[in-house]
Amino acid sequence: MAQTVETIARALNARAEGDLQLPIEGASEPSAAGERQIALAMDPKYAPGITQGKARAAILWEGADWQSYGLSAAIFVARPRLAMAGLSKAFDPGPEIAPGIHPTAVIDPTAEIGADPAIGPFVVIGRGVRIGANARIAAHVVISEGARIGADALVLQGAKIGARVVIGDRFICQPGAVIGADGFSFVTPEKSGIEEIRETLGHREEIRQQSWTRIHSLGTVEIGDDVEIGANACIDRGTVRATSIGRGTKLDNLVHVGHNVQVGEDCLLCGQVGIAGSTRIGNRVVLGGQCGVSDNIFVGDDVIAGGATKIMSNAPAGRVLLGYPAIKMDTHVEAWKNIRRLSRLFAQVSELRETVTKLAQKGSAE
């Protein structure tokens, strides 16, 4: 995907100087860059690598003296990570899915496919499915009966979208994700040990045999616009009402969203996050990798939870959490500082006790 310095600068909405028609075929770290690659040195600490590579153009920080590095052109950015978003988009060709419908695809005659589709081999699309324009659906995807997907969808290899799932526009689904599997919901004829423990916080009157009866999932999954689902993520359908994912929310690989969960808008759920059933997650919530959220609680808007945090009770809006169980991050950090001081404290107490004992013995002898 050949570009020029000028087209890259335009994509980044950034200022450029020098030979703006210089052809660029890719991006690289400065020391490894070739002549037709643009060096990424958006922080001064990476600049020395420019002279070790062969790049003729670089993306630099504002105010950099680009000519001193022997460059022919430079682009200047104020926010490097945002620049990477634009740069990566400019050079990403996307998955190779041939336009049209592959002859091995199995599409029910009642399904409605929008204009300009690209549907790969061995895709299965069920009865009454509706898919918007410009859909790109890679090999071995299954979209079950009654599902609806908006325009400009990208659904990658082996993803499974269940019956009656509703998805908005510009949806991205990474390989192997499962959207709309049944929820994990079971009940016993008598009060189960789990129910008893939840009421007593650990005490059981009697341990007895119990068997599980399945609660079927009659609801579906509803997903807003501009949502991305990571590889092998799982979103369970609701028991009666829909499990929902709000507009702009992004799920990382291996995230699990349980039945009846409601996730708000513009959230980030990082790898291996698990959210138990019937929990509500507010808007702009960030859950770090391996966070767990208990069932039937509420996590307020703008909550940020560090990696491996376990949220077991309602979290107020704007709270920053860490630990198991989750507490305020600054409290958690201070608590662990105190734990690290315990050995010194124990030694001091032991020394003090010996001193007191000696003084007492001395006093009694006198």
Active-site annotation, residues: 259
Number of H helices, E strands in the chain: 5, 40
Six-digit token string for 25: 């075929």
What is the CA angle 215-219-220, rounded to 5?
A: 125
Q: Which has the closest alpha carbon to 84: 102, 108, 67, 59?
A: 59
Segment (H or E) for 344: helix 342-365
Angle, nearest 10°, between helix axes 342-365 and 329-340? 50
- From edge to edge, which strands make up the β-sheet containing 262-263? 112-113, 130-131, 148-149, 166-167, 221-223, 243-245, 262-263, 280-281, 298-299
> How many beta carbons lie within 10 A of that of residue 268, not counting itself?
16
**What are the two backbone dihedrals, phi and then psi, of residue 270, each rounded to the nearest 5 degrees?**
-80, 175
Q: Which has the closest alpha carbon to 279: 306, 249, 311?
A: 311
Partners of 287 in the β-ladder: 269, 305
What are the DSSP calls for 15-59, one per residue? EEEE-TT-EE-EEE-GGG--TTEEEEE-SGGGGGGGGGS--SEEE
Q: CB-based contacts of 181: which residues, under 8 Å, 6+ apart?
A: 160, 162, 234, 235, 236, 237
Asked if residue 38 lies in contact with residue 55, where contact means CB atoms within 8 angstroms, the answer is yes
CA separation, residue 161 to residues 100, 120, 166, 254, 265 (Å): 21, 16, 9, 16, 21
SS3 readout for 62-81 = CCCCHHHHCCCEEEEECCHH
Rounded Cα distance, 271 and 9, in Å: 33
Six-digit token string for 241: 């009402």
